[in-house]
Amino acid sequence: MADAAAVVPKGYTENPDHMPLQKSQQKYGTWTWILMMFSMNTCIPMFFLGPIGKDLSFFQVMVGAVIGNLAAVVVMWLNGAVGVRHGITFPVQLRETFGFKGIHIPNIMRGISGLVWFGVEIWAGSLAIAMIVVSLTGAPADQVTAIAIKYILVAIVIYLVSFILVMRFSLDGIGAMANWAGPIMLIYFIWLVIYLATSPQFAPNVPKLWAPSNIGWFSLPFFGYLAVQTNWWATVALNISDISRGINPDKKGVLGWGLVIGIIGGQLLGTALGYAAAVLTGQVLPQSIIVQFSPGIVAAIIGLLFAFLAPWSTDMTANSIPLINILTGTFKMRWKPAVVVASIIAFFATPWWSVSNADTYLGYIQNWAGNYGILLGPIAGLMIGSYWVVHKQKLNMGDLYTKGSGAYWYQSGWSAAAYCALICTWVLCYVTAYIIGPSAIAYVPIGDSIKVPFPGGVIWYFSVVYAVVLQWFFATVVFKEKAAVKA
């Protein structure tokens, strides 16, 4: 890796937050990174992955979680290795693929996708805050959720203020918080499910956990469930370098172990716990399960604290970063002001205007998670194809920070190869979706009479492969953009 201290921006003034980290600043070890990934993974929406697969058997749900998350982790490792090796942020990483000026479109697409998840998590965490207060007033357990939703706007403000206070410490604050948040989240929910399964009220439902399903392994519902599991990480698979750049490059295997244990392991646990809790109680909203079925007010308050910490930590390590990248990269804001502005934007992206109960919240998550992969899958594939295939893992650090010339200026700052590959990937995805059939096509309503077809479901898998191949073809054969880059 080139000496980050020797990199000097040429032709422009770089935002200091996008300068490469020096080796002395890359401090994350294996334990911290695993806990960061686990904390990022452990969120209230993750526990909906069980109920989303309620028509599948428990074994099918778990196999789907392994396969779906393994596919995402492979992409995350390929893109995250760039951050570890070179200490660069996602917007800077995009320059190698899309060109110095061409980064803004994929950066904004990633930011918008993350903003939706940001809002989803804010709603979940804020509801937990409101439910803690309502529970302490002595309200009946079966009415706590409905009462808390009435005060969700106030809780959202409290959530975002606490978020800003921690995020102002940048990477150091994220890493320190993640060291203790993850274990608390895991231990509580394991205990709660064991308690439910052994209680006289729900023990008779335990056999339902192992009931077989009439849905086949090669059926469209199973593949659709795979897509939901994979698309869960379609966002972070792009900008993983924003946090992986904090890993100490001298500690081998940190990136991979963190992804396998923190992401795949965490997702398996969350899926299993969510599936079990839903089958045992017949309810899908974790906060309601905690309040109604925990043994006493103290256990309920601890659980709701968990329900706050889970989305809170995920927003810090995953969902907020892309939006902050837009503000720091495209609008040249510094980190701390960008955190405040991002929080204001996120307030309006939180679905307080749409979600009123557990069913609408679950539907909101399922519709989004199952169908947005085509937006980000092609970008992931283009980044992988550019770094690993076209440029063969070599970056010219000086040229990444050079405006007006250099290896990554391409055609006036734009990579024609990347954008041609992106457009062709989208076209192929539409063709593939129509070949697969209705299960691979969602429809986005515009007004009352217009519905725009939108490839969804398993299309993410196809889009990544198409993009890798097309990036190689356009960059090396058509436009010959492969630059002579010094290692």
CA distance 88 to 67: 29
Domain span holding position 168: 21-373
Nearest-CA neighbor of 62 among 290, 305, 273? 273
- When the pLDDT of each residue in the chain is averaged and rounded to a whole number, the result is 88
54-68, 214-228, 242-256, 384-398 — which is least confidently predicted? 214-228
Q: Give per-residue pLDDT as tens, 362-385.
A: 777 877 777 788 889 999 999 999
Residue of 29 and 330 predicted with greater confidence: 29
CB 160 within 8 A of CB 192: no
For residue 136, pLDDT beyond 80: yes
What tokens were used for 264? 């795949």
For residue 450, pLDDT beyond 70: yes
CA distance 105 to 90: 13
Query: In this predicted structure, what is the pLDDT of residue 245?
Result: 96
Q: Give per-residue pLDDT as tens, 184-223.
A: 777 888 999 999 999 999 999 999 999 999 999 988 889 8
Q: Is residue 197 part of a domain?
A: yes
Query: In this predicted structure, what is the pLDDT of residue 309?
Result: 80
Query: In this predicted structure, what is the pLDDT of residue 446?
Result: 67
Q: Give per-residue pLDDT as tens, 258-290.
A: 999 999 998 999 899 999 999 999 888 888 899
* Arithmetic mean of pLDDT, 251-261: 95
For residue 89, pLDDT beyond 70: yes
Question: Which residue's structure tokens are 């679950």?
Answer: 362
Q: Is residue 411 part of a domain?
A: no
Q: Is residue 105 part of a domain?
A: yes
| Cα–Cα distances in angstroms (integers) from residue 364 to residues 119, 120, 121, 229, 346, in the given order | 11, 9, 12, 15, 16
For residue 254, pLDDT beyond 70: yes
For residue 487, pLDDT beyond 50: no
CA distance 74 to 76: 5
Q: Is the pTM of this model over 0.85?
A: yes
CA distance 306 to 252: 32
CB 92 within 8 A of CB 18: yes
Confidence label for 158 from pLDDT (cuts 50, 70 and 90): very high
Q: Give per-residue pLDDT as tens, 164-175.
A: 988 876 555 554
Compute the half-sphere exposure of residue 459: CA atoms within 13 Å on the CB side of its CA: 31
Q: Is residue 407 part of a domain?
A: no
For residue 26, pLDDT beyond 60: yes
CB 261 within 8 A of CB 37: yes
Query: In this predicted structure, what is the pLDDT of residue 99?
Result: 96
Q: Is residue 196 part of a domain?
A: yes
Q: What's the CATH code of the domain at 297?
A: 1.10.4160.10
The number of folded domains in the chain is: 1
Question: Which residue's structure tokens are 């196999």?
Answer: 63
SS3 450: strand
10-14, 40-44, 78-82, 141-145 — which is least confidently predicted? 40-44
Query: In this predicted structure, what is the pLDDT of residue 37?
Result: 87
Query: In this predicted structure, what is the pLDDT of residue 6?
Result: 82
Residue of 351 and 423 predicted with greater confidence: 423
Q: Is residue 439 part of a domain?
A: no
Q: Is residue 313 part of a domain?
A: yes
Residue 413's CB: how many other CB atoms inside 10 A? 16
Q: Is residue 287 part of a domain?
A: yes
